[in-house]
Chain A
Amino acid sequence: DAGVTQSPTHLIKTRGQQVTLRCSPKSGHDTVSWYQQALGQGPQFIFQYYEEEERQRGNFPDRFSGHQFPNYSSELNVNALLLGDSALYLCASSPGLAGVTDTQYFGPGTRLTVL
């Protein structure tokens, strides 16, 4: 049973560039959430996708956008990169909008460095 996978593992970009991160959910899961984890902090929620639509969004600017495909995989796009966007980006999947019992399972993350 494949878990959540993310690509790439590491990425180095310069300020002003654009980046796309990818995530494939755990088998049987159709909901994908993205989190940003700055060094030394807990993850912060970016947004969640279900049925190819953005269902919830955290306090992140419009430079952060996403997409979910019919096979439930997802992309996170960040435009006009800033130094402060350097972080570990975590993708989590869960089996639908099941509420409080809905356990999210995380991938290994993509570490983004902006120079």
Chain B
Amino acid sequence: AQKITQTQPGMFVQEKEAVTLDCTYDTSDPSYGLFWYKQPSSGEMIFLIYQGSYDQQNATEGRYSLNFQKARKSANLVISASQLGDSAMYFCAMKYGNEKLTFGTGTRLTIIP
């Protein structure tokens, strides 16, 4: 069964610093997708970045990058130059085939001015 683990319940980061949010996963399927979502207090899940298991390069989207280490089954999200608006819950999720998204428990990120 798929499993996603996020070990950081909460993080506090100074504005303009970079931050890394940890995510490890467990699956026996060779083909899978890894996703990061941001959930502000309003509740909407906002898609940030995607990494496929066969992708050779780490995914990047603006200030977001995904540090994908396949052998370690790790898919950490890196946010560069953090901003106050980055304060939110962040969820790592995985899916394979047409299956559902399986989410981790999330990390609450707070940016300090």
Q: A42-B91, A48-B100 are in contact. Are A102 and B33 (CB under 8 A)?
A: yes
Which size class do A's interface residues fall under?
20 to 34
Instruction: Chain B residues near A35: list those with CB within 8 A.
Output: 101
Contact A88 B103 (CB under 8 A): no
Q: A111 with B35: in contact, given A43-B103, A45-B102, A48-B100 (CB under 8 Å)?
A: no
Q: Verify A103–B47 contact, CB threshold 8 A.
A: yes
> Is residue B76 within 8 Å, beta carbon to beta carbon, of the partner chain?
no
Per-residue B-contact encoding for A85-96, CB less than 8 Å = 1, 0 else: 000101010000
Chain B residues with CB below 8 A from A103, complex form: 35, 47, 50
Does A63 lie at the interface of the complex (its beta carbon under 8 Å from any beta carbon of B)? Answer: no
Compute the total of residue contacts between A and B using a CB distance below 8 Å. 70
Q: Does A25 contact B (CB under 8 A)?
A: no
Docked Cα-Cα span, A103 to B50, in Å, equals 8
Across the interface, which residues of B come within 8 angstroms of A33, CB to CB?
100-101
Interface size class of B (residues with CB under 8 A): 20 to 34
Closest to B50 in A: A103
| A48 partner residues in chain B, CB cutoff 8 A | 98, 100
- Cβ < 8 Å to A, chain B residues 23-80: 31-33, 35, 37, 42-47, 50, 52-53
Q: Which residues of A contact B (CB under 8 A)?
A: 33, 35, 41-45, 48, 55-56, 58, 88, 90, 92, 97, 99-109, 111
How close is B81's CB to chain A, nearest CB, in angstroms? 25
> Looking across the interface, which residue of chain B has its beta carbon closest to that of A110?
B43
Measured CA separation A106–B98 after assembly (Å): 17
Give the docked Cα–Cα distance between A25 and B23 (Å).
29
B33 in contact with A101 (CB, 8 Å): yes
Residues of A within 8 A of B53 (CB): 100
Q: How far is the CB of A84 from chain B (nearest CB, A)?
A: 18
Q: Give the docked Cα–Cα distance between A43 and B47 (Å).
A: 14
**Assembly CA distance A100 to B50 (angstroms):** 10
Decide if B43 touches A109 in the complex (CB within 8 Å): yes
Q: Which residues of B contact A41 (CB under 8 A)?
A: 105-106
Query: Are B50 and A101 in contact, CB atoms less than 8 angstroms apart?
Result: yes
